[in-house]
Amino acid sequence: MYENMIVIDRQAPESLQMQIRRQLAICIVNRQFPLHEPLPSIRRLASDLKVSVTTVVRVYSALKRDGFVMSKRRSGYFVSPDALVDPGRAAVGKQRAGATEPARVDYARLFRGRSFDRERVVKPADLLVRYRYPFACGLIDPSLFPLARWRECVRDAADVVGVGNCATDFSETDDQILIEQLIQRVLAGRGIFARPDEVLVTVGGQQALYIAIRLLLAPGETIGVEDPGYPDAVAMARMEGINVQRLPVDDNGLILSDRLNRCKCLHVTPSHQFPTTVTMPPARRSRLLELTRQHGQFIIEHDCESGVSFNKTPPKALKNLDRWGNVIHVGSLSKSLLQGLRLGYLVADREFVREARALRRYMLRHPPVNNQRSAALFLQRGHYDRFVAKLTGIYSRRCDAMHESLERHFPGAAVKPEYGGGNVWLRLPEEVDAGILRELVEPDGVFLETGGFTFSDERSNRNHIRLGYSVIDEALIAEGIDRIARAVPKARGADSAPGNAPQGESLNGHRAN
Amino acid sequence: MYENMIVIDRQAPESLQMQIRRQLAICIVNRQFPLHEPLPSIRRLASDLKVSVTTVVRVYSALKRDGFVMSKRRSGYFVSPDALVDPGRAAVGKQRAGATEPARVDYARLFRGRSFDRERVVKPADLLVRYRYPFACGLIDPSLFPLARWRECVRDAADVVGVGNCATDFSETDDQILIEQLIQRVLAGRGIFARPDEVLVTVGGQQALYIAIRLLLAPGETIGVEDPGYPDAVAMARMEGINVQRLPVDDNGLILSDRLNRCKCLHVTPSHQFPTTVTMPPARRSRLLELTRQHGQFIIEHDCESGVSFNKTPPKALKNLDRWGNVIHVGSLSKSLLQGLRLGYLVADREFVREARALRRYMLRHPPVNNQRSAALFLQRGHYDRFVAKLTGIYSRRCDAMHESLERHFPGAAVKPEYGGGNVWLRLPEEVDAGILRELVEPDGVFLETGGFTFSDERSNRNHIRLGYSVIDEALIAEGIDRIARAVPKARGADSAPGNAPQGESLNGHRAN
């Protein structure tokens, strides 16, 4: 393979040794070789490049002298870690030709004004080890996960049949066991009675939502999004040139007002409102369906924390009441299995699902086949039901502990989730800036998510936070809340001192790099 | 869980027994219960629904009498297969309420004129068992795949760390081992020297292509697509309101003409042209880069069969020559690992990758974490290189066998792939309609893919076929080609008898359901 990494020009005035030495050095600084594995052996390189062994011996000696490689007794040459270029730094030796560096496309300029790279919530990947009090939302505690059972399912899914399926195209179909299990174990529990051709498997709930928005709305049309609500629904709509009408929320979820009339489609979270966690009562649900039917509108029901409910008989999905077929139900296994598997689903009338499948195909063909089968087996064997039951019990206790702590420090400020799920919504005093609060408690090992970015008017709502309890130990909740409470008086908003507002910082936690 | 499936109204005039019986029957016909597992036990159901055991006993007896369930000695009640509603049939008992069926949204009408559900190539999922001579393209022969090695990687990826990663969010990052391995084992072999922040992992090459098109072109702008070329590139562009300029191809790939000037971006397949398999020579590549640079245009280099090349030193990627940074390189592991894993990648300047990551996040957050790690281990342990070497050897022999057979029957009509890959492009006599040919040979156990749909003028190019050799046994190739050759004289196009053209049928093989 090295013939393509190192190109030798036998007509060049530069010696063979120098050509190889120069190009190898550039490959090394650009991390083209693994750090902890030997570099190509002298013999291999000589044979691949069709040069003498002596030439390669001299090349390696020179590279060693220059600090690019080091030799280990009997294991050959290795990359010297000091030689590596910091990937953040500019293009040192970027061009193998080495000569004058031409100007490059200015992509930053190209995307200016139409960039998707906006402020967004970033959960550090090492969150669970970095913070002692990780009040993060939407994650699953790996220590609760039945790893041995899962490994069994993964192993069984990678059998001859499974790999055969992986070698073919699944654009036009989904794993039929998964579809059946979703219908019987997940959707039935939400009061949804779907047939196999009314369910589409997607790459997470996010893709299901994106597909639904794309299919229901054309550029220039209007989607209604709760206020506060799911910010990615707003971002997706804007990405597609779709107008966004924000719709206020009260303790019963989305308020049914005349504002709804302008919308062709509504994005709602009736069972567990994002982010307030409130549940829409049956009367309002019926009224919502009646109104949208009268106006010929569509509803995307985003079932955010579908799996995990504290009630034995949780409120059913809005889709359960849908007689007209205008509700597209969107959910995922991210909060009740593993978010990293990226398995979501969309439930709608057959014609809609057919269209969604076609769009899915152009976007990415289909979700990975092996994960569909692994999850299907996990559900089929009952591990899913047991895991959800376990999570629910633990979350319910943690939720009580958290609410108790919050009531002590901030009486009446927290919404106790009625439905379930993994987080609490907290409204701090008006003058508190949650972005500042987050910075203040970070050195204490506390991670929290700010809530202002879920509002249309972020500036006046910087005093909200989302506190997840899905990955924090019950015993540490009170301690963590204490630390937050102690920091609150110091977390005065910058509004009182205009000009100091840490723009974009207070918005939604960490900034994408 | 049954409280949500069966809702009891104790005020209703209907008896409890009748309410349960009616709702259970509807759940059964709608496949809400698994076929081969017992239905809820009498005790469980009585306790969940808070009714007496006697009531449930009577319900099950009645359902048995009516043919909905059957009892098995000591195993309880099971769904009777005869009771199941054919999912294709209309809404029998669709509504649990049972009452009058209201009108439903007419989605077929809603999507008319703007449907994504267009004609497309459909590879039946059971292709390998259904056909004795599967000349399908783009699949991997599962019998060649090192299953035991793969299972080892899958198992090791599902360890504590792997599942921990699966429980967190990977939107802002990718598996770092996979990125390193892609750089060192896949991209380096194509002559591409990328840094970690210049590579993005995607859900298959398809998503990489979709992202690149979305980022580079706004609605109303023009993309150039080879003619014949990759039909999904055309479909994606149209989906986004982007104009498509088709650009003719000769034996050296894309022809550089004035037509290029109208395009903001070009979709090209220089190393292994889709579908003709020809390779663009170095001089034309340099000229292409020079021209696009002069005009400030972008190139999406779609490296279709990147992994599998017959040459020890395959022609390098166009990206290798890119000094200006206007080439976005798109590829996947679908043809060299397993297509069902949906692992693709995009290589471009750092700023472009940053933007691509942001768009990826809104579309679906990130590709599944576990598959990234499994593939990373497969690469890191050297299984990938060995597998590709094995495939290459086998494909090369099959390709020879196929070309020999084709030359015997159709002298000079087939393009022998110079680069490698898994299929041959064949131009049959003008009057042959490949769609008819496909139908004719199907009863003989032959599967082939028509090629007309890769042209802008499909009607005049119905005489092309794509013959894959990646999943057909070498020993069967000659036999299969014989069968095709025998059918060719009968596969006269419908053009000679106007009005008989089987519209959409001859287009691209099977029609989506």
Please report the pLDDT score of residue B96 as a whole number.
Answer: 43
* Per-residue confidence (pLDDT) for residue A505, from 0 to 100: 35
- Does any CB of chain A come closer than 8 Å to the CB of residue B166? yes
H or E, element range at B426:
strand B423-427
* Residues paired with A200 in a beta bridge: A346
At B309, the pLDDT band (50, 70, 90 cuts) reads confident
Q: Does B290 touch chain A (CB under 8 A)?
A: no
What gap in Å lies between CA B152 and CA B147, rounded to an integer? 9
Per CB-CB distance under 8 Å, the chain B contacts of A470 are none
| Alpha carbons A144 and A474: distance in angstroms, whole number | 13
Mean pLDDT of A238-242: 93
Tell whether A352 lies on the interface with B, counting CB pairs under 8 A.
yes
Q: What pLDDT is stored for residue A513 in this prediction?
A: 32
Confidence of residue B85 (pLDDT cuts 50, 70, 90): low
| Chain B residues near residue A115 by CB distance under 8 angstroms | 355, 358
Q: What is the mean pLDDT of residues A38-62?
A: 90
Question: How confident is the model over B269-281, as pLDDT tens digits?
Answer: 999 999 999 999 9
pLDDT confidence bin for B168, thresholds 50/70/90: confident
Cβ within 8 Å, pair A351-B142: no
ipTM: 0.85
Contacts of A351 in chain B (CB under 8 A): 106-108, 111
User: Is the predicted pLDDT of residue B313 greater than 60, yes or no?
Assistant: yes
Lowest mean pLDDT among A38-47, A216-225, B329-338: A38-47
Angle, CA of B468, A361 and B276, to the nearest 5°: 30
Q: How many CB pairs under 8 A join A and B?
A: 346
How many Å lie between the alpha carbon of B400 and the closest alpha carbon of chain A? 23
Res. A509: pLDDT tops 60:
no
pLDDT over threshold 50, residue A41: yes
Q: Considering only residues 309 to 338 of chain A, which have any Cβ-Cβ distance to chain B shorter than 8 Å?
A: 312-314, 316, 323-326, 338
Using CA coordinates, name the residue in chain B closest to A235. B362
Cα separation, A275 vs A294, whole angstroms: 28
Average pLDDT of the segment spanning B390-406: 95
A96 or A208, greater pLDDT: A208
Mean pLDDT calculated for residue range A323-337? 95
* Residues of B in Cβ contact (< 8 Å) with A88: 197
Residue with tokens 């005790």: B43
Q: Which of A33, A158, A202 sits opposite B184 (nearest CB)?
A: A33
Mutate to test the interface with A, among B365, B386, B447 (most CBs of A within 10 A): B365
Distance (Å) from the alpha carbon of A197 to chain B's nearest alpha carbon: 7
- The predicted-structure confidence for B490-502, as pLDDT tens digits, reads as follows 998 765 444 444 4
| Res. B299: pLDDT tops 60 | yes
Q: How far apart are CA B502 and CA B293, in angstroms?
A: 45
Question: Given a cut of 70, is residue B63 above it in pLDDT?
Answer: yes
pLDDT at B510: 38
Option in B151, B184, B362 nearest A239 (CB): B362
Q: Smallest CA–CA separation between A335 and chain B, in Å?
A: 9
Over residues B62-85, the mean pLDDT reads: 83
**Does B38 contact chain A (CB < 8 Å)?**
no
- Quote the minimal CA–CA distance from A329 to chain B in Å: 15
Nearest beta carbon to residue A30 from set B34, B118, B195: B195
Q: Return the pLDDT at A86.
A: 55
Shortest CA distance to A150 belongs to which of A357, A381, A345?
A381
Instruction: Name the band, by pLDDT with cuts 50, 70 and 90, for residue B305.
Output: confident
Interval B173-195 mean pLDDT: 92
> What pLDDT sits at residue A167?
83
Please report which confidence band the pLDDT of residue A92 belongs to, taking 50, 70 and 90 as the band edges. Answer: very low
User: What crossing angle do the helices spanning A204-216 and A350-364 adopt, rounded to 10°?
Assistant: 110
Confidence band for A312, pLDDT divided at 50, 70 and 90: confident
A234 close to A224: Cβ distance less than 8 angstroms: no
Residue A284: CB atoms within 10 A of its CB come to 17
Rounded percentage of chain B residues whose pLDDT exceeds 90:
63
User: Which range is least confidently modeled, A312-316, A333-337, B476-480?
Assistant: A312-316
Give the DSSP letter string of B107-146: HHHHHTTS-S-----B--TTHHHH-SEE--SS---GGGS-
Does the pLDDT of residue A72 top 60, yes or no? Answer: yes
Amino acid at position B229, single letter? G
Query: Can you give the pLDDT at residue A100?
Result: 53
User: Is B233:B110 a contact under the CB 8 Å cutoff?
Assistant: no
B146 CB within 8 Å of a chain A CB:
no
Optimal mutation site among A33, A174, A178, A203, interface B, most CBs of chain B within 10 A: A203
Q: Report CA-CA distances (Å) from A484 to A372, A444, B218, B354.
A: 41, 9, 46, 33
Q: Which residue has the higher pLDDT, A496 or A377?
A: A377
**Contact at 8 Å (CB) between B317 and A142?**
no
- Identify the pLDDT of residue B86: 55
Q: How far is B475 from chain A (nearest CA, A)?
A: 21
A130 touching chain B per CB within 8 A: no
Q: Give A 433-462 residues with CB within 8 A of chain B.
A: none
CB contact under 8 A, A1 and B188: yes
| Nearest by CB: A125 against B108, B170, B361 | B170
- Closest CB from B33, B142, B313 relative to A4: B313
Strands B199-203 and B343-347: antiparallel
Q: How many CA atoms lie within 13 A of A347 on its CB side?
A: 26
The predicted model gives B236-248 an average pLDDT of 96
Which whole number is the average pLDDT over A304-310? 81
Check: CB of residue B305 under 8 Å from CB of residue A84. no
Place of tokens 């020297």: B193
**Residue A197: closest C-alpha in chain B:** B87
Residue B147: pLDDT above 70?
Answer: yes
| Closest chain B residue to A240, measured at CA | B240
pLDDT band at A7; cut points 50, 70, 90: confident
Q: Does B144 touch chain A if contact means CB atoms closer than 8 Å?
A: no
* CB-closest option in B117, B358, B385 to A116: B358
